[in-house]
Amino acid sequence: MKKTIARIAAMMAFATASAAPVSYEFEWKGFDAFTSTATGETTGGWNPLASIRGYFQGEDRNGDNTIRGEELDRFGFYDQTTGERLELIGCPGTGAGASGLTGCNVGWFSYSQEGGLMLSGND
């Protein structure tokens, strides 16, 4: 009986916590990184040290333990040189083209503890 009560309490705590807006930061390391020169030459390839850092804030409004694109409040990347936040939802304070950005929206987004972070972008 005590185990059952403890499990119910733990599930209620998780459900309560997952319904509030939560902020996350992420970093992806190691991917193909190519650079084009003014003459059109492309250099680069697999770089295990290449990284992209970003952040998002969202709320699991439907209670499925996954934050999806329509549940995002903020999403963006950090400028690799300045560390400045570059918003991709609505682009407040930056606008399209800031620091090389050509678009300001997230095409598909999903985050859960089980599935991790998955996303794609749109121009």
pLDDT at 21: 85
Tokens of 92: 């407040």
Residue 4: inside a domain: no
pLDDT at 122: 57
Residue 98: inside a domain: yes
Tokens of 2: 């005590």
Domain of residue 41 covers 20-122
Q: For residue 116, list its beta bridge partners.
A: 112
Handedness of CA 11, 12, 18, 23 (dihedral sign): negative
As for how many domains the chain has, the answer is: 1
pLDDT values of the chain reduced to their tens digit, one per residue, 123 residues: 444 344 443 443 444 445 678 999 999 888 777 776 777 777 778 888 888 899 999 999 999 999 998 898 888 889 888 989 887 765 544 444 445 555 556 778 899 999 999 987 654
